[in-house]
């Protein structure tokens, strides 16, 4: 909802596919390790990596859906080289419905009036 009107409607999968920001890669790193070292290592596999959160021992990266075919190679390489590049541990997941709601509210903030509704095949 935005400004009293429906802005989008559909299943969680539909909403995530249309408004999701991709996948999240969360990395726990050594305090001495520079974030750019890890990011540059990941860019060998995934070109469009976006840093979304960072602290002394934590990184959160956004990985695009379109490069999901390369994730297996990336994870195998991270497992093999995590000590070399200063990774203690990592986790991976898709966007959440909270991420979707935040994205939709951004669209509402920019006064986009289009309503996106999931179409269902009525022949089924």
User: Distance between CA atoms of 56 and 53, rounded to whole angstroms?
Assistant: 11
Regions of the chain with pLDDT less than 50: 122-124
pTM above 0.95, yes or no: no
Domains identified in the chain and CATH numbers: 8-108 (3.30.70.330)
CA 34 from chain center: how many Å?
21
The pLDDT score that the predictor gives to residue 6 is 76
Instruction: With beta carbons less than 8 A apart as the criterion, state whether 19 and 11 touch.
Output: no
Q: What's the token pair of residue 44?
A: 């060998």
The pLDDT score that the predictor gives to residue 119 is 57
The pLDDT score that the predictor gives to residue 122 is 46
Instruction: With beta carbons less than 8 A apart as the criterion, state whether 113 and 47 touch.
Output: no
The pLDDT score that the predictor gives to residue 120 is 52
């Amino acid at each position: 909802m935005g400004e009293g009107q429906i802005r989008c409607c559909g299943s969680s999968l539909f909403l995530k596919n249309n408004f999701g920001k991709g996948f999240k890669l969360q990395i726990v790193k050594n305090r001495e390790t520079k974030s750019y070292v890890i990011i540059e290592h990941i860019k060998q596999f995934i070109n469009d990596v976006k840093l979304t959160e960072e602290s002394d021992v934590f990184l959160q990266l956004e990985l695009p859906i379109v490069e999901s075919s390369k994730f297996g190679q990336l994870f195998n390489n991270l497992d093999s080289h995590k000590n070399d590049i200063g990774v203690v541990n990592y986790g991976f997941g898709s966007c959440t419905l909270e991420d979707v709601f935040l994205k939709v509210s951004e669209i509402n903030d920019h006064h986009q009036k289009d309503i996106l509704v999931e179409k269902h095949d009525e022949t089924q």
